[in-house]
Structure 1
Amino acid sequence: MMFRLTAILIVLLLQLFLYLRLRSYIIEKRTLPRSAGPVALGLFLFFNIPVPVVMSYFWSLTHLPAWVMTVLMPLFIWHIATFFIALALGSLLLLRLPFVLALRTAMLHPTIRTQVTTMKETPNFQRFDASRRSFLEKGVIGLSAYSFVGATAGAVSSGEFEITRRTIIIPGLPEQFKGFTIGMMSDIHSSIFMNREDMSAYVKEMNGLKTDMIVVTGDFVNSKTEEVYPFAEAFSELQAAHGVYGCLGNHDFFTKNVDMVAKKIDECGVKLLRNDAVKIVKGDSYFNLLGVDDIGRNMQPDEYFAKALAFAKNDQPKILLCHKPYYFQHAKDLGIALTLSGHTHGGQIVFGTVERTPISLAALASKYVSGHYMLGDSNLYVNNGIGYTGIPVRVNCPAELTVLTLA
């Protein structure tokens, strides 16, 4: 309940900030029609009055008709676009703040205040100020257009996915496992936004890839225990010659009945590795597949890893299933050859990329957001997932099925 109230408050405060900025602009821009103010107020009320109802009521639903999603999509698009606009404008204000404070402090001195006032009245300064305002105005208009176009495109293409193929070099890999393929899925988030039919379609696609083994790296459900039943129905069809394995994610623990969720996942054919390990055997060779439960706040990752490693006391290569990618350095230090993770959704809402790092909220929590990373000889692969957190939209970050070929 507290999380929901906090989320609603943050959304509404961002909307209030953006509305006040727009209202200030409308007042200053005297060339706009008198109806601009009421229209802006009407838009903000229209898209924000439903927010508390949607964010509170939807939390308890387990099924949502398709037509409701269609009706609500403009609401989702509005909040994605305006969130990014508010974030950008807020960042600009924070960057300006030190200079504004310094100038206002300096102007407390009468001589400096007189000089600044005189300078502002000169034609050169007024031309510069007009040019600056015009540049900022065009920039904000461009930013707004980009945000709404991007959010709309993301909403339209949310059902799309990519199949990513990567070759991963594993030091000491037995010859019999060269060319061995691992199909990877993550962050299913069984919910009103990911129903049984959706999940069955992804299962069919993954089965069609015919990989030797399949792993699912957590967040099977979104937040409720009953969401595991449609998941189990769909994923009972998932098959691979060397088995289907998984680890639990943070959302699986949000259910408060994680053992029941884990039991149903196991029963449907996804073998959960809960701080333990198994040997994947081919002929007379094998490698170790380890899995750990989601590592929550104030918990020590080494304790989880130690329990799993206790089941793999040998010198054969070790592959780890760990929902969050945050612990890659720990895994590397413990001799893990390959860590498979999810959690980040690849950013889900991505507004660009800087040197491989997606510009998204996920990048604030970890530098490992999407794709293949290396520390020395140790590998990490972070899957984008197929489900959603919060709003059922992806922007510049399609859902992903991964095929990893060991070499």
Structure 2
Amino acid sequence: MFFVLLGVVAGLAHFYMWRRLVRDTTVAGGRGRRWGTVALVSAYVVMLGALGFGGEVALVAWPGYLWLAMMFYLTILLGIFEIPRVVLLRRRVKAPVLVGAEQQAEPEGTSRRVFISRSFALASGLTAGGLVGYGATQALGDPEITSVPVTLSKLDPSLSGFRIAVVSDIHLGPLRGRSHTERIVRMINEQQPDLVAIVGDLVDGTVDKLGEAAAPLKDLVSRHGSFFVTGNHEYYSGFEPWLLELERLGVNPLRNERVAIQRGGAAFDLAGVNDVAGRNFNDAPDFARTLDGRDTTRPVVLMAHQPVQVEDAAKHGVDLQLSGHTHGGQMFPFHAIVPVQQPVVAGLEKIDGTWVYVTRGAGFWGPPVRVGAPPEISMIQLSG
């Protein structure tokens, strides 16, 4: 249903773009209009192919997803330009049009209308292309290393300085493979963390197709191990085989359970709950099972893919929740839409007495584009 709805919305957007980029800038029956129409229809078909089976074919995924980003920004920019476009078109000033080496008069207003339409079409295209190009360099470049100090009142002073590498939304798939994982592992290991927390959406595909891409995770190095909780995309990719594969790679899944992380005589609890999408796969999050009966005198750090899970976490006395899912909005202005569903878009905030940290993620979903939300690996440093 999601892809059908997206296809309908994208179809309407392409019709709007055809009107502004093709119809308004060309002559009826001319070669330009025919080729412009063919180009837009072809782009729409390739985009649908990427949405439908681009997850299996990189050759389709790259152009289809890049055009999806172009369509998004072109539609927004053309919409923004509607007001100045209408204002200029209403001014009754005739402009000549250049044909060959001579100026020839056209019917009143025609040359001026075409000139204005072409100007706004060109401005929209150049701006959208610039945004997508910049966003692609951000999405495909190295993630930022973000240092995040967090004070937990219950933390034993001997655990101050404990460092957790948090990474989420790696999204291995047709556009991101083994080299992407190798880079993330290398960057995490360079930070020499005490613990690694992978908070969901590792993959967009099955173990058979992406097992090799995930294999470098076995090289993660930390003093207290690597841990994982499911994201919604794991449930679309066959979560049970992936949980077994991660165990084989030395990454420990936390499935509605907790473990004690000890250093010397001090400890805190590291807990993990399944993603909310697990409710549709008989694998729902269970906060009571995860957190009941623990020693409440020591802090608990919870791994939960979606920030919205902090509502339940706060009720169970969680001190710090580590999440991803939002991608920090990924492409401006989605930053303004995420709060409709999630309490935190990115960064550290306190919700109902519980700290929740949301990392922007190290990969991308859909278009290989990030605008205003560069990828990151977060280093949480705990203090008492």
- Place the TM-score, normalised by the shorter chain, in its bin: 0.7 to 0.9
CA contact (8 A) 1:221 1:231 kept: no
1:15 corresponding residue in structure 2: 14
| 1:217 is aligned to 2:196 | no
1:315: Cα distance to partner? Answer: 2.2
Which runs of structure 2 are paired with 1:127-142 in the superposition (5 Å)?
Answer: 129-130=90-91, 142=123
CA contact (8 A) 1:276 1:309 kept: yes
Whole-angstrom distance in 1 between the partners of 2:284 and 2:349: 21
1:73: Cα distance to partner? Answer: 4.9
Query: Structure 1 residues 377 and 143 mapped into 2: Cα distance closer, same or farther (>3 Å)?
Result: farther
1:310: Cα distance to partner? Answer: 2.6
1:272 to 228, 253, 261: 253
Count of residues in Structure 1 that have an aligned counterpart in Structure 2:
357
2:137 corresponding residue in structure 1: 156
Query: Structure 1 residues 143 and 23 mapped into 2: Cα distance closer, same or farther (>3 Å)?
Result: closer
1:293 corresponding residue in structure 2: 274
Cα deviations by residue, 1:3-37 (Å, 9 ceiling, x for unpaired): 5444444333321232234456447xx8x996553
**Structure 1, unpaired ranges of 5+:** 96-125, 353-357
Whole-angstrom distance in 2 between the partners of 1:139 and 1:329: 46
1:245 corresponding residue in structure 2: 227
CA contact (8 A) 2:62 2:175 kept: no
Whole-angstrom distance in 2 between the partners of 1:391 and 1:265: 27
1:59 to 28, 38, 55: 55
CA contact (8 A) 2:47 2:65 kept: no
1:340 corresponding residue in structure 2: 322
2:34 to 38, 41, 45: 38
Instruction: Indicate the larger mover: 338-347 or 385-394.
Output: 385-394
Letter in 1 for 2:48: P
| 1:83 is aligned to 2:72 | yes
Letter in 2 for 1:86: T
CA contact (8 A) 1:323 1:341 kept: yes
TM-score (norm 1): 0.76
Identity of aligned residues (%): 24
1:127: Cα distance to partner? Answer: 8.8
2:312 corresponding residue in structure 1: 330
**SS of residue in 2 equivalent to 1:222:** coil
**Structure 2, unpaired ranges of 5+:** 93-111
CA contact (8 A) 1:19 1:41 kept: yes
TM-score (norm 2): 0.81
Whole-angstrom distance in 1 between the partners of 2:346 and 2:213: 24
2:108 corresponding residue in structure 1: none
Letter in 2 for 1:12: G
Whole-angstrom distance in 1 between the partners of 2:357 and 2:32: 49
1:219: Cα distance to partner? Answer: 1.2
**SS of residue in 2 equivalent to 1:49:** helix
Cα deviations by residue, 1:97-147 (Å, 9 ceiling, x for unpaired): xxxxxxxxxxxxxxxxxxxxxxxxxxxxx999439x99x977776555332
CA contact (8 A) 1:163 1:403 kept: yes
Letter in 2 for 1:378: T
1:267: Cα distance to partner? Answer: 1.7
Whole-angstrom distance in 1 between the partners of 2:377 and 2:251: 17
CA contact (8 A) 2:140 2:368 kept: no
2:357 corresponding residue in structure 1: 381
